[in-house]
A = this chain, B = another copy of it.
Amino acid sequence: MDLQCPAPLSRHETVQMAHGAGGVMSRELTRNVFLPFFGNSMLDMLDDQARISLESGNIAFTTDTFVVSPLFFPGGNIGDLAVNGTVNDLAVGGALPLYLSAGFVIEEGFRLSGLTKIVAAMADAAAEAGVSIVTGDTKVVGKGQCDGIFINTSGIGVIRDGVDLSCNNLREGDAILVSGSLGDHGMAVMTAREGLSFQSEIASDTMALNRMISSILHEVPEVHAMRDPTRGGLASTLNELAEASGKGIVIEEDCLPVKPEVQGACELLGIDPLTVANEGKVVVAVRGDRAEKVLRIMQSHEDATSGRASIIGAVVNEHPGMVIVRTGLGGRRILEMPLGEQLPRIC
């Protein structure tokens, strides 16, 4: 009789259905691929939940699933994107990001070498941001039942005492800043997907912003609100701020930092760069007389801003709920909330 032995993971080059079924092969995937990169005292327990001791019970909690296509793009991949995105969602709420979960849905046949690259990028991004991945889950679905890999990251951070950031806090005279150039991530993914090439490669700005945000909040308590302009870009973020606060926002078109190669790609594809996703930028609303201070702190985090941090506009009492762009020639146009079709699977 020819008995079939359980095949160890090392014999496989791709993910199999059995890697997601909770038995021997699930355990092997966890031990051979995830733990070597993510390992820490909480995750190593391999319990159904991580037990955490926080200094305070005032926490921020967020979740995001990443379905970006292609999985690898100039400047990053779905792994670092998934970590940085959730770190930033915590940071813009005024929280110190600490712990992340990672939930994988993997298509049968996905190459283990690709999975390992993604997991390594997650581990590097987590180390860079100072967070730990403490709990996780892996599901495998059949060939054609998902597109490669989807990753959910949820995150927990502790909210600093005295920090109260909210769209409702916007006041007339607040300055609006953005920490760097707009549209880099979305156009990096789009041009990679469409196979377009430009003289200068467009790279994603995926990056954890928690250290820069921490400096800003530490030094400038007059910050009223922060958001990271991801899906829907600056246009969505500003409209959300205006609508939630019942204030108007005026933006100076000449002050908007957009790299020439991003502008060129947008024109080619007929896309407004203000509606394109960013993954390493923050929009800040701060009392007007403190705007220069915030700008200098942003500029001191050169890696995060590429020298393009800018004061781009102001909060007004007029036209509540609306965002107006003033053009260089003295014209004015309404910056609308994008409807949303242009850029699917950008994050």
A binding-site residues for B, Cβ under 8 Å = 6, 16-27, 45-67, 69, 89-90, 92-93, 95, 99, 101-105, 134-137, 139-142, 144-147, 150, 152, 154, 156-159, 166-167, 227-228, 230-232, 236, 240, 244, 275, 277, 337-345
A339 contacts B18, CB within 8 Å?
yes
* B57 A55 Cβ-Cβ under 8 A: yes
Task: Find chain B residues with CB under 8 A from A23 CB.
Answer: 231-232, 236, 275, 337-340
* A122, chain B: closest CB distance, angstroms: 14
| Contact in complex: A340, B19 (CB < 8 Å) | yes
Task: Please indicate the chain B residues that have their CB under 8 angstroms from the CB of A240 in the complex.
Answer: 46
The dominant DSSP class at the A interface is mixed
The 8 residue pairs across chains A and B that have the minimum distance between CB atoms: A22-B231, A23-B340, A21-B340, A22-B232, A54-B57, A63-B101, A154-B154, A18-B340
Report the separation of the CA atoms of residues A240 and B45 in the bound assembly, to the nearest whole angstrom.
Answer: 11
Asked if residues B154 and A337 are in contact (CB atoms below 8 Å), the reply is no
The CA of A141 and the CA of B71, in the complex, are separated in Å by: 14
Complex CA–CA separation, A338 to B27 (angstroms):
11
Q: In whole Å, how far is A281's beta carbon from the nearest beta carbon of chain B?
A: 13
A to B CB contacts below 8 Å, 6 in the list: A23-B236, A23-B339, A24-B340, A49-B95, A63-B152, A63-B154
Which of B53, B63, B228, B339 is within 8 Å of A102, CB to CB? Answer: B63
**When the two chains form their complex, are residues B344 and A17 in contact, meaning their CB atoms are under 8 A apart?**
yes
Q: Is the CB of B61 within 8 A of A22?
A: no
Give Cα A210–Cα B50 distance, bound, in whole angstroms: 17
Smallest Cβ-Cβ distance to A63: which chain B residue: B101
Instruction: Please indicate the chain B residues that have their CB under 8 angstroms from the CB of A145 in the complex.
Output: 67, 69, 146-147, 345
| B49 in contact with A134 (CB, 8 Å) | no
A285 to B217 Cα, complex, angstroms: 48
Other-chain residue from B19, B50, B147 in contact with A62 (beta carbon distance below 8 A): B50
Bound CA span A130–B139, Å: 27
Contact A135 B63 (CB under 8 A): yes
The complex places the Cα of A1 from the Cα of B61 at a distance, in Å, of 47
Given contacts A59-B54, A61-B101, A341-B18, whether A26 and B231 have CB atoms under 8 Å apart is: yes
CB pair B54–A50 under 8 Å, yes or no, is no
Shortest CB distance A80–B (Å): 18
